Amino acid sequence: MGLYQEDFYRWTVEQSNLLRSIELEGLDTKNLAEEIASLGRQERKELRTHFNVVLGHLLKWHLLPQERSKLWQVTIDSERREILWILRDSPSLKDNLSEIIKDSYEAALYLVMIETSLDAKDLPKDCPYTVEQILDLSFPIGIDKELA
């Protein structure tokens, strides 16, 4: 099995770099390389979007227990599964999870403030969840754990 099947993101990075290093008569290597690189960036952006949703819903789950709903559970679960599928298809993105989660948490805070009565002083400044908790299909459902 080739890199394309094993790690799509890494394949896009490598292929765009290779295309930039060659000149074939008539082949628009510059734009072709940029388009391939943009596929990898899109994969990373999609991952960040799913983390935004999971983190926002986890915060609401913990900070607004009276408003918990089945819809929140379904959303957390389905978004986690999307993350896990992306990481399965592009495992090299795992190398960037700390940065992606940091960026996603900032976006999640903003979304939570828009969607709820919570404001910045009510929300943890830094992400209170570990990578393992964020990706754990059983967390927080059934667990009433206070934020640290």
Check residue 119 and give its pLDDT.
92
- Answer yes or no: is 142 within a domain: no
What is residue 142's predicted lDDT score, i.e. its pLDDT? 53
Residue 125 lies in a domain: yes
pTM exceeds 0.85, yes or no: no
Q: How many domains does the chain have?
A: 1
Q: Is residue 108 part of a domain?
A: yes
* pLDDT recorded at residue 24: 72
Instruction: Give the pLDDT mean for 87-116.
Output: 96
Residue 147, pLDDT > 80, answer no
- How far apart are alpha carbons 90 and 31 in whole angstroms? 23
Separation between Cα atoms, residue 94 and residue 41, nearest integer Å: 14
Length of the chain as a residue count: 148
29 within a domain of the structure (yes/no): no
Average pLDDT in the 64-86 region? 95
**pLDDT at residue number 4:** 84
Between 66-75, 120-129, 139-148, the lowest mean confidence (pLDDT) is in 139-148
Mean of all residue pLDDT scores within the chain: 90
Reply yes or no on whether the pLDDT at 146 is more than 80.
no
* Domain of residue 111, residue span: 43-135
pLDDT of amino acid 36: 87
Q: Would 21 be classed as within a structural domain?
A: no
Is 90 inside any structural domain? yes
Asked if the structure places residue 107 within a domain, the reply is yes
Q: Which range is least confidently modeled, 12-21, 35-44, 134-143? A: 134-143
Q: How many CB atoms lie within 10 A of CB 78?
A: 12
Cβ–Cβ under 8 Å, residues 69 and 116: no
pLDDT at 2 over 90: no
Does any domain span residue 33? no
The pLDDT assigned to 122 comes to 92
What's the mean pLDDT in 39-68? 96
